Amino acid sequence: MSEQNQALVGVIMGSSSDWDVMQHAVAILKQFGVPHEAQVISAHRMPDQMFSYAETARARGLRAIIAGAGGAAHLPGMVAAKTIVPVLGVPVPSKYLRGEDSLLSIVQMPKGVPVSTFAIGEAGAANAALTAVAILAATDAALAEKLEAFRAQQTAAAQAMTLPLA
């Protein structure tokens, strides 16, 4: 557990090899001071633990689950099948198909069991965490203010951009 308090966001991934990408989700949660947990839960290598994680998520107080996986990326969808806690899926770049396999595995859920699916890689991991922050901000005014400030900083940075024109 990070941020000391009861975790509100769970970050799970299919392998420790996903950490390079998924650490960007954790970095955002830390930046916003959101209580979270992060661990490896593999759909294919530890399916019983995956179901148990999903089945207990809501009762444990999780308000969002960020699930990253690569290749035959079944983790987000199978977790979503067992909980009504919103699942935010992050396609991790794969060795042979550059994550397009991961993206298609995660995004093509059947009607009725949604996984919110993000971009392949670092941007997807960070944006999944920002979406988790937005979910929490709906009932947390202080967090909403932090999110507004974060977005305003980006606007200011873009407005200050210059080009190396002659």
Which residue positions form the known binding site for substrate?
15, 18, 45
Q: Does 50 bind ligand RP5 (CB under 6 A)?
A: no
Q: Does 42 bind ligand RP5 (CB under 6 A)?
A: yes
Which of these segments, 12-20, 29-37, 76-84, 127-135, binds ligand RP5 (CB under 6 A)?
A: 12-20
Q: Which helix (H) or strand (E) holds 121?
A: none
Q: Does 15 bind ligand RP5 (CB under 6 A)?
A: yes
Q: Does 71 bind ligand RP5 (CB under 6 A)?
A: yes
Q: Does 117 bind ligand RP5 (CB under 6 A)?
A: no
Output the CA torsion sign for 150, 151, 155, 161. positive
Output the CA torsion sign for 43, 76, 110, 112. positive
Q: What share of the chain is helix, strand, coil (3-state, %, to 5)?
A: 45, 15, 40
Whole-number Å distance between alpha carbons of 25 and 139:
21
Which parts of this chain interact with ligand RP5 (CB under 6 A)?
A: 13-15, 17-18, 42, 44, 69-71, 92
